[in-house]
Amino acid sequence: MIAHTPTLFACVALVATIMAFCLILVGQFNRHDGLLTIGCGLLAHAVAYVGYTFYGHAPLWFTYGAANTLLSVALAFYGASLFRIVELRVPWWRVFAPMLLMLVSMVTLIDTLEPRMLAASIMLMVQCSLIIYWTLRYIPKQGRARMLLIIGSSISLIGLGMRVVAIIGGGAAEMRYDVSNLKQTISVSIGTFTAMMISLGLVLLSKERSESLLQRLALRDVLTGILNRRAILEQFSKELERARRDSSFLAVAMVDIDHFKQINDVHGHLAGDEVICHCVNHLTRRLRQSDSIGRYGGEEFLLLLPGTSPEGAVAVLDDVRASLVGAPAKFGETRIELRISIGVCCVVPDERDTTASLLARADAALYEAKAMGRNTLCLAPADLQQNDTRIGDTSETLSG
């Protein structure tokens, strides 16, 4: 089926204008989500197709030179939107350099036929290739937006490649914007898919990033950035199930900052926040990638060490406790010394073990550490009939 080419151009221009209006309107309320930039790209896309619509009825500098330059501007805005949405600095010179080359090419080659058509098609292909490259590099693989952007840009490459092949093959006259034939119908239709898929892909990317941010806010502690209580307990359930299935050790540690109320009273709550962050950073740097840490309470943290034996857990955590003694927190010019107490429960879990029971045992061990004078580590017995092991400044191993 052969469609009237100027009519196709007009339809694309109308659709792009409506989408641009909506995105620019919505993008005004949050200029960091990339919607405003996408809208500007769609607006340039729409005006470019308006120029194509009047090809043969208006000056060539407008219907071809300016129109192709505007289409290049649209693709540049799409590229800039991608960077803004993923919260990266926009490399403006890389994004808009092809557009400047397009402008120069159109000015110098406007009175030719094949050269200007080849130059325009090749510049647009370069920009579509850049969008694919940036998508592959900066957008996570699991995102649906990534698929739309890659497919949309790839389809555009196919359409532009068809034009290049036709021009090189001597069919440049058949690809003029005022000619209606099957090749033109396919090529312009591909351009329609491109405008929609790339713009929708970017909008979906913005939505996915917003959802990811909301999920992060829901699962992360605002002050420290580590898992919050809800998230660490969910992770605890997963680690417990894995350890039960693999018949492997799981070490659960409750960590509490000693005399934290006194730190707040003497230095203020802002200093207290700095102490908490300092403690978290100190703990995080000494944990393995497979370990997990979460803020369980105000100054209390829950640590999960999968695949760690009681001896290994005691060695690692007591080293962390001891090293923190020599690493005071800083608040302005003030150095604030801090100590931690640790209660550890380490078992190969069976069906009787639950997150609640293991937490209770680790918390009981923490209570024992506090009772022994703080700055101490206590290991809960593997068998509740056995005695605790306590490690601290004053004793290496004590029996309860």
Query: Quick check: 48 and 71 in contact, CB under 8 A?
Result: yes
Name the residue among 368, 381, 8, 354 with its Cα closest to residue 181.
Answer: 8
Does the CA dihedral 320-321-326-328 come out positive or negative? positive
| Cβ proximity of 178 and 56 under 8 Å | yes
Q: Extract long-range pairs of 387-392: CB within 8 Å, 24+ residues apart.
A: 389/314, 391/314, 391/318
Query: Residue for token digits 């130059």?
Result: 119
Terminal-to-terminal C-alpha distance of the chain: 89
- Between CA 175 and CA 188 the distance in angstroms is 10
Tell how strand 340-347 and strand 376-379 pair up: parallel
Counts of helices then strands in the chain (DSSP H, E): 13, 8
Q: At what angle do helices 67-85 and 182-219 cross, to 10 degrees?
A: 20
Active-site residue, from 239, 274, 299, 368:
299
Amino acid (one-letter) located at 109: L
Q: Could you confirm whether 299 is annotated as catalytic?
A: yes
Say how far apart CA 273 and CA 261 lie, in whole Å. Answer: 12
- The Cα–Cα gap between 347 and 116 comes to 74
Longest alpha-carbon distance in the chain? 97
- The residues annotated as belonging to the active site are 299
